[in-house]
Amino acid sequence: MLYNARRRLQLNEAERQQMRAACQFNAQLMDVVRAFIKPGVTTAQIDQLAETYTRDHGHSPSQKGYPGQKGAFPYSCCTSVNDVICHGLPGDYVLKEGDIINVDLTSFVDGWHGDSSETFIIGMPSDLARRVTQCAFDCLWLAIENIRPRCRVSDIGEPIVRHARKQGFSVVEEYVGHGLGRQFHQPPTIPHHAPPESRRQRIEPGICFTIEPMINTGTKETVQNKRDGWTVRTKDGGLSAQFEHTILMTETGPEVMTLTQKGPQRGHRF
């Protein structure tokens, strides 16, 4: 079943070009958001900027209206501050000096989805905040550098876990990367650790997917807000950081499709 699903999801060259266009817009949007984030800005203002810019360019935010246990996701992006791991809801929280915030953007462009996220440091961070942000960024790139055509899915999670543990941090296992293209979430599932099933699955050329490791300063265990059905926090209240790129596996290796012009590049030091 996994083999057949993988074959159906392999993109031809024309489809790859459409995915590139969606991902390029998504990267452009991230740079617009980047210039806006600073102390005194609310997470709701970030969300409004993302939606306005996306719709003004004739596209739509993939996250808005996405179905969940407590109803559809009501916003255009996720804003996850400090101990929020993922799916943070924009609102009246005002960013302040020392915060870290992950902004997760997904753009629906002419029938295709582009997906990426970054953790931004607000002003001067604590040493712990800087280190966990650096670790999440490095984990993403170590995973990208470790994969090749027809590699095992576990080749993504293994270097992530190894590096995070070396830094004294943990890797969230409950939330994973995913395939994407015409659908926002589709096979393959991309865990950021290496469960047995991931050692049996391979990534063929033409498959498009996200790598998005979530790194915690303390326990890997998570708690979902029962009232809103979305916000996921660290169980111990520790910090969490995440970076995400959309990757196309080509015949010669991984193509990072959501690279920004103004954001941190491979090897960046925070």
Q: Residue 221: what pLDDT? A: 98
Distance of alpha carbon 147 from alpha carbon 145, whole angstroms: 6
Tokens of 186: 């589709």
Q: Residue 87: what pLDDT? A: 98
Tokens of 97: 């000096």
Q: Residue 8: what pLDDT? A: 64
Q: How many residues does the chain have?
A: 270
Tokens of 238: 């520790």
Band (4; pLDDT cuts 50, 70, 90): very low
Average pLDDT over every residue of 123-139:
97
Q: What is the pLDDT of residues 193-239, one digit of tens each?
A: 999 999 999 999 999 999 999 999 999 999 999 999 999 999 999 99
- Identity of the amino acid at 50: A
Q: Residue 157: what pLDDT? A: 98
Yes or no: say if 151 and 58 are a contact pair by the CB < 8 Å rule: no
CATH topology (fold) of 2-256: Creatine Amidinohydrolase (3.90.230)
Band (69; pLDDT cuts 50, 70, 90): confident
- 96 three-class SS: coil
Q: What is the pLDDT of residues 165-196, one digit of tens each?
A: 999 999 999 999 999 999 999 999 999 999 99
Band (1; pLDDT cuts 50, 70, 90): very low
Residue 131 has pLDDT above 60, yes or no: yes
Q: What is the pLDDT of residues 5-38, one digit of tens each?
A: 444 689 999 999 999 999 999 999 999 999 999 9
Q: Residue 134: what pLDDT? A: 98
Average pLDDT over every residue of 244-252:
98
Q: Residue 242: what pLDDT? A: 98
Q: Concatenated DSSP letters for 145-157?
A: HH--TTEETHHHH
Q: Residue 70: what pLDDT? A: 81
Yes or no: say if 103 and 77 are a contact pair by the CB < 8 Å rule: yes
Band (59; pLDDT cuts 50, 70, 90): very high
pTM for the predicted model, two decimal places: 0.96
Average pLDDT, the chain: 96
